[in-house]
Amino acid sequence: MKVVQIQMNSQSDKARNLADAARLLDEAAGESPDIVVLPEYWAMLGNSPDEFHASAETFPDGDAYALMKQKAAEHGYYVHGGSIVEKAGNAFYNTTVVFDRSGEEVTRYRKIHLFDVDVPGGASHRESETIARGEEVVTYDVDGRTVGCSICYDIRFPELFRALRDKGAEVIMLPAAFTLMTGKDHWELLARARAVETQTYFLATGQFGTHADGKKACYGHTLAVNPWGHVIAQVGDQVGLSVSKLDFPYLETVRQNLPVANHHVL
């Protein structure tokens, strides 16, 4: 399986973000991938609940949904659609939508763990004021291989990844807009830990750089980690692509030689 991860620097201008994503999705096609992955909130990375809610789409309507569907069919690869804001009834969700090679939706995942942080005397961020919580652990099939879904803050909760492994995940996707302050210390550490404990290929795809008129910053450093915990591909401090080939016989060897999934007692 060949995977291209797209690192973006999305802003509050949805039309511009879609144009940037279209260009990068076309560029990714040159690598002949099986899957292309977008980051969290790739269609809108704003600064207020109103901005996020205004960008929301009611699937299958919406420009971001249509773009992913179109590019998947045009280029014949799966699109793991990072995340965009989904409106369902009166609720808004941080949602991944996945499209197959013909442009058909195959699954969607609503982010389970919401980033609510209040630092005494410091920053406050409450995702739950903008977004409702998802409840379902989600996997999907790509050419006989099982791919698990997660988003950003989920990375700090190993029980989700244990559940994905128990559902057969061999690859886990984590689109993110990880903050600069936490990312520089925890991003790679957590990604490698999740890969090692689940013995999966762990692909963490990030937003990079400043947004919200320069008031907020994302860490970037999109990376792919193999089941032994080694980083096999990475994007630096820029918008761009990461390309990796996933070796499933190697994954099976790791699981055979260190069969941790057989030893759970809790």
Catalytic residue list: 40, 111, 152
- DSSP E strand stretches across the chain: 2-7, 35-37, 78-80, 84-88, 91-99, 105-110, 116-118, 124-126, 139-142, 145-149, 171-176, 201-206, 208-211, 216-219, 223-225, 231-234, 240-245
User: Is residue 99 in some structural domain?
Assistant: yes
User: Is residue 266 in some structural domain?
Assistant: no
Is 119's pLDDT higher than 80? no
Closest among 77, 63, 76 to 21, alpha carbons compared? 63
Is 121's pLDDT higher than 90? no
User: Is residue 263 in some structural domain?
Assistant: no
Q: What percent of the chain has pLDDT over 90?
A: 89
Please give the residue range of the domain that contains residue 224. 2-254
| pLDDT at position 122 | 66
CA torsion angle 59 65 68 69 (round to 10)? 50
User: Is residue 86 in some structural domain?
Assistant: yes
Please give the tally of structural domains in the chain.
1
Residue 27: band (very low, low, confident or very high) from pLDDT cuts 50, 70, 90: very high
Q: What is the CATH number of the domain that holds 204?
A: 3.60.110.10
Q: What pTM value is reported for the model?
A: 0.96
Residue 79: what residue type? V
- Of residues 129 and 28, the one with the higher pLDDT is 28
CA distance 77 to 130: 32
User: Is residue 265 in some structural domain?
Assistant: no
